[in-house]
């Protein structure tokens, strides 16, 4: 039985089912034999969907007034600082 977490594709703010049905294991770089999780292998259709979502997000972001973008980035920086221990553990 596979007890490793299976990670999906996160596109446009949601976890989606991938088209290919293929997966691959990802290991700890320091200990390659230690598998950390199983990841979905995207294909061209998945990539096209991700690129389309990124283009839409960029368009929306570029239409956001600069002062509001600044506040969003400051909030993101604050959240990273507040959660740095969790980020360190994840990396």
CA dist 73 to 8, 58, 77, 79, Å? 26, 15, 6, 10
Instruction: Provide the 10 A C-beta neighbour count for residue 35.
Output: 14
Contact by Cβ (8 Å): 50, 8: no
Contact by Cβ (8 Å): 26, 39: yes
Give the pLDDT confidence score for residue 87 in this predicted structure. Answer: 83
pLDDT exceeds 90 at position 28: no
Contact by Cβ (8 Å): 21, 36: no
Model pLDDT for residues 33-72, shown as the tens digit of each residue? 889 888 888 899 999 999 999 999 999 999 999 999 999 9
Tell me the pLDDT band of 17, cut-offs 50, 70 and 90.
confident
């Amino acid at each position: 039985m596979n007890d490793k977490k299976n990670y999906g594709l996160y596109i446009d703010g949601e976890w989606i089912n991938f088209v290919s049905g293929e997966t691959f294991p990802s290991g700890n770089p320091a200990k390659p034999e230690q598998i950390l999780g199983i990841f979905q292998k995207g294909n061209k259709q998945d990539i096209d969907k991700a690129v389309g979502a990124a283009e839409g997000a960029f368009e929306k972001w570029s239409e956001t007034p600069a002062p509001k973008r600044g506040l969003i980035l400051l909030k993101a920086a604050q959240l990273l600082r507040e959660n740095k221990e969790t980020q360190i553990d994840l990396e």
